[in-house]
C-alpha cells in the first residue's frame, strides 16, 4: 500500500518522539531492504511530486471555490435584495388583501342584511299573494253574481228599449212644440232686449244731463265681433267730447262687470272701435236691472260706472282714451 505524505510525516514525527523506534528502523533498513532504498526514494519522489501537483490543484480549486463563493455571495445578496423587495411587495399585497377582506366582510354583512330584508319582502309578497288569491276568489264569485245581474239587466234593458221607443215618439212631438216655443221666445227676447237697451240709454242720458252733459248724438247699438248695447257722443261740462259706452243686462254679477271692463281695455277691441270711427275718450258704464254686491265691488275695482233703473250706483273713476 503506498504511503502518503501525511502518513510519512506522521511516521517521521513518531520516530522523533520515540528514539527506540529509530533504532529498530535502522536495523531493518540496514538489512536487505536497504537494497530497495533507491526505488523507494524514487517512488517517494514521485509521490511527493503527485502530492505537490495535488496541492497546486487544491489551491487552484480553492481559488475557484473562493471566486464562486464570491459570486454566490453577490448572488445571495442580490437574491436577498430581491427577496426583501418581494417581501415588501408581499406585505403591501397582504395589507391590500386585508383591506379588501375587510371591505368584503362589510359587503357580506350588507348582503346578509339585504338578504334578510329580501326574505321579509318575499314573506310580505307571499302574504299579499294569498290575500290577492282570496280577493280573486271573491271577484270571481262577484263576477258570477254580476253575470246573473247582467242577464237580468239585459232583460230590463229590452223592456227599457221598448219604453224608449215609445218615449222617442213622444219626444219628437215635444220637440216640435219646443221649436214653436223657441221661436216665440226669440221674438220675446228681441222685444225685452231692445226694451232693456232703451231703458239703459234713457237712464244714463238722464243722469249725465243732470251732471251737465250735453248729448251730441243719439244712443244707438253697435255690432262688432262682440256687441255694444248702447253708444253715443256727449259733451262734458268742460266742453270736451266723450263717447258713452253701455253694456246692458237684466242681471249683473261680478264676472259680467269684470269681463266688460277688460274687453273695453283690450287693444283688439279698441282697434275695432277706431276702425269704425269711434276715436277719442270713452266713459264706460254697465247697466243692470238686478245688481248684486259683487257687481258693485267689481265696478269700483275696475274703475267703470255702474247704473240701474234708480240711477248711478258707481261713478266712473277715469276715462279710457283710444287714439
Cell numbers 275696475 correspond to what residue?
A: 302
First to last CA, the chain: 154
pLDDT tens digits, one per residue of 88-143: 886 887 787 678 778 867 876 887 787 788 778 868 878 777 887 787 678 777 77
pLDDT tens digits, one per residue of 143-185: 788 677 767 767 777 776 676 566 666 645 554 543 443 333 3
Q: What pLDDT is attached to residue 142? A: 73
Strands 320-322, 311-314: pairing is unpaired
In sequence order, which residues have a C-beta less than 8 Å from that of residue 308 and are 6 or more positions away? Answer: 203, 287, 288, 289, 291
Task: Report the C-alpha gap between 7 and 11 in whole angstroms.
Answer: 6
In sequence order, which residues have a C-beta less than 8 Å from that of residue 285 and are 6 or more positions away? Answer: 200, 204, 244, 245, 246, 247, 304, 305, 306, 307, 316
**Burial of 296 from C-beta contacts in 10 A (0-12 / 13-18 / 19+):** middle
Task: Report the C-alpha gap between 222 and 276 in whole angstroms.
Answer: 10
pLDDT tens digits, one per residue of 185-238: 333 333 334 578 899 999 999 999 999 999 999 998 887 766 688 999 999 999
Structural domains for the chain: 211-322 (3.40.1350)
Percent of the chain with pLDDT over 70: 78
Look up the pTM and report it.
0.42
Count the Cβ atoms, other than its own, within 10 Å of residue 201: 22
Amino acid at each position: 500500500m503506498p504511503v502518503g505524505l501525511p502518513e510519512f510525516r506522521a511516521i517521521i514525527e513518531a520516530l522523533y518522539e520515540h528514539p527506540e523506534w529509530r533504532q529498530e528502523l535502522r536495523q531493518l533498513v540496514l538489512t536487505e531492504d536497504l537494497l530497495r532504498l533507491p526505488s523507494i526514494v524514487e517512488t517517494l519522489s514521485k509521490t511527493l511530486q503527485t502530492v505537490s501537483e495535488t496541492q497546486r490543484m487544491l489551491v487552484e480549486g480553492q481559488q475557484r471555490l473562493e471566486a464562486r463563493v464570491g459570486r454566490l455571495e453577490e448572488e445571495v445578496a442580490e437574491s436577498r435584495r430581491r427577496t426583501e423587495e418581494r417581501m415588501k411587495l408581499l406585505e403591501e399585497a397582504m395589507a391590500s388583501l386585508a383591506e379588501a377582506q375587510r371591505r368584503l366582510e362589510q359587503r357580506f354583512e350588507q348582503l346578509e342584511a339585504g338578504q334578510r330584508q329580501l326574505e321579509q319582502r318575499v314573506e310580505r309578497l307571499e302574504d299579499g299573494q294569498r290575500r290577492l288569491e282570496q280577493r280573486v276568489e271573491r271577484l270571481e264569485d262577484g263576477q258570477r253574481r254580476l253575470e246573473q245581474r247582467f242577464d237580468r239587466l239585459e232583460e230590463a234593458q229590452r223592456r227599457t228599449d221598448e219604453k224608449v221607443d215609445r218615449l222617442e215618439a213622444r219626444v219628437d212631438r215635444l220637440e216640435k212644440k219646443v221649436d214653436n216655443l223657441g221661436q216665440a221666445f226669440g221674438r220675446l227676447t228681441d222685444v225685452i232686449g231692445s226694451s232693456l237697451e232703451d231703458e239703459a240709454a234713457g237712464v244714463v242720458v238722464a243722469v249725465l244731463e243732470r251732471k251737465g252733459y250735453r248729448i251730441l248724438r243719439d244712443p244707438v247699438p253697435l255690432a262688432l265681433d262682440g256687441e255694444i248695447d248702447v253708444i253715443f257722443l256727449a259733451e262734458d261740462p268742460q266742453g270736451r267730447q266723450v263717447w258713452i259706452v253701455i253694456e246692458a243686462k237684466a242681471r249683473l254679477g261680478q264676472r259680467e262687470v269684470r269681463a266688460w271692463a277688460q274687453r273695453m281695455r283690450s287693444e283688439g277691441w279698441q282697434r275695432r272701435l277706431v276702425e269704425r270711427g269711434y276715436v277719442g275718450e270713452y266713459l264706460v258704464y254697465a247697466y243692470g236691472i238686478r245688481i248684486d254686491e259683487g257687481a258693485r265691488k267689481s265696478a269700483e275695482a275696475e274703475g267703470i260706472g255702474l247704473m240701474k233703473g234708480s240711477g248711478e250706483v258707481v261713478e266712473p273713476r277715469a276715462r279710457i282714451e283710444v287714439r
